[in-house]
Structure 1
Amino acid sequence: MKDKKICFVSSSGGHLEQIKQLKEVASQYECFYVVTRTKATEAMKNKKYIVSDLVRTNKFLSVIRMLKMMGEQLRIFLKEKPDVIITTGAAVAIPMCIIGKLFRKKVVYIESFARINTPNKTGKLIYKFADLFIIQWKELDDYYPNAIYGGWIY
């Protein structure tokens, strides 16, 4: 099954820990990671690209930073040519998911395990165009009526 390539994209911390739980998927396909810079991501042995993250200081700077992120991730996308993008968020995942959809690739979003009763902003945006949207808590059914309940990732 190595004929498909997967891009795993996430911010650091809990989002990355959840992506790492997908070892079985990662072992079946060629894959790479798009992550933000931390000690943990720098130490990762997997094929990875370290990219900018969104800094929410003000709206104008956030837009500029998002455009920078889009450019960085577009270059990675064109180099790697993934078939599927899988993410648990957060904001760093938005550009790659948008780029993936523009190139007609599959986008899979897994709403964060930490989101039990309310959705996050990234999830609400990507829900609008994801090919597969997975929730880890039944309580989110009201926010994401077309989502698949997948249970806990851990």
Structure 2
Amino acid sequence: MKKVIFISSTGGHLTELMQLVPMFEKVDYTLITENTSSNKSLKDTYGDKFTTLAYGTKQHLLPYLFIFSYNILKSFFLFMKIRPDYIITTGTHTAVPLCKIAHIFKKKVIYIETFANSKTPTKAGQMIYPIADLFIVQWESMLAVYPNAVYGGWIF
């Protein structure tokens, strides 16, 4: 059975990622998001198949640099522990390090650009686009931004 990490930041990106829950029963999955009070119930639902990274916001730059550095190290640890075949993500900054690590180890990276952007790229999308094995956009108009992407329609 393929091992898959599903990862995203909290909020709308996680809401989009959770639309993929039907895929969980077909793979050996791990769900990763940020550690926030709104995500605590996911531990009850997914048990040891759920883990978190530290929550940080770029609005507080100095603490964010330390949090992001910590998340890079934890992402590497999780990658080595889980040894996934695929990373599937809806973004954003929380997922970038894990996608880069997976790419270095020649594992598949599948990125789904957010539904929230119909004309402009996200920063995470721009960083992952060059390394993604499959890059999916939810708006046909985004094919102009990411010409090698696949239009997948809305995830909702």
Tell me if both proteins adopt one fold, taking TM over 0.5 as the criterion.
yes
Identity %: 38
- Give RMSD over aligned pairs: 1.4
2:6 and 2:29 in contact (8 A); partners too: yes
Partner of 1:87: 89
1:54–1:91 CA contact under 8 A, matched in 2: no
Equivalents in 2 of 1:24, 1:35: separation in Å?
18
Query: Structure 2: how far apart are the matches of 1:54 and 1:95?
Result: 14
Partner of 1:76: 78
In structure 2, the partner of 1:133 is: 135
* Match for residue 126 of structure 2 among 109, 124, 127: 124
1:40 matched residue in structure 2: 38
Decide whether the 8 Å contact of 2:32 with 2:52 is kept in 1: yes
Checking the alignment, whether the CA contact within 8 Å between 1:9 and 1:85 is kept in structure 2 is yes
Task: Give the unaligned 5+ runs of structure 2.
Answer: none
Q: 1:21 aligned to 2:23?
A: no
CA contact (8 A) 2:9 2:33 kept: yes
Query: For residues 53-64 of structure 1, what are the structure 2 equivalents within 5 Å?
Result: 53-56=55-58, 57-58=60-61, 62-64=64-66
Q: Which one of 9, 12, 15 corresponds to residue 10 of structure 2?
A: 12
Assess if the C-alpha contact under 8 Å between 2:10 and 2:34 holds in 1.
yes
Residue 128 of structure 1 and its aligned partner are, at CA, apart by 1.0
Q: Measure how far apart 1:102 and its partner are.
A: 1.1
TM-score by length of 2: 0.91
> What amino acid is the match of 1:112?
T
Number of the residue aligned with 1:102: 104
**Given that residues 6 and 86 in structure 1 are in contact (C-alpha distance below 8 angstroms), is that contact kept between their aligned partners in structure 2?**
yes
- Structure 1 runs not aligned, ≥5 long: none
Post-superposition, which runs of at least 4 consecutive aligned residues in structure 1 deviate over 6 A?
none
Moved more, 45-54 or 5-14: 45-54
The alpha carbon displacement at 1:78 in A equals: 0.9
Contact 2:30 2:50 survives alignment (8 Å): yes
| TM-score of the aligned structures, taking structure 1 as reference length | 0.92
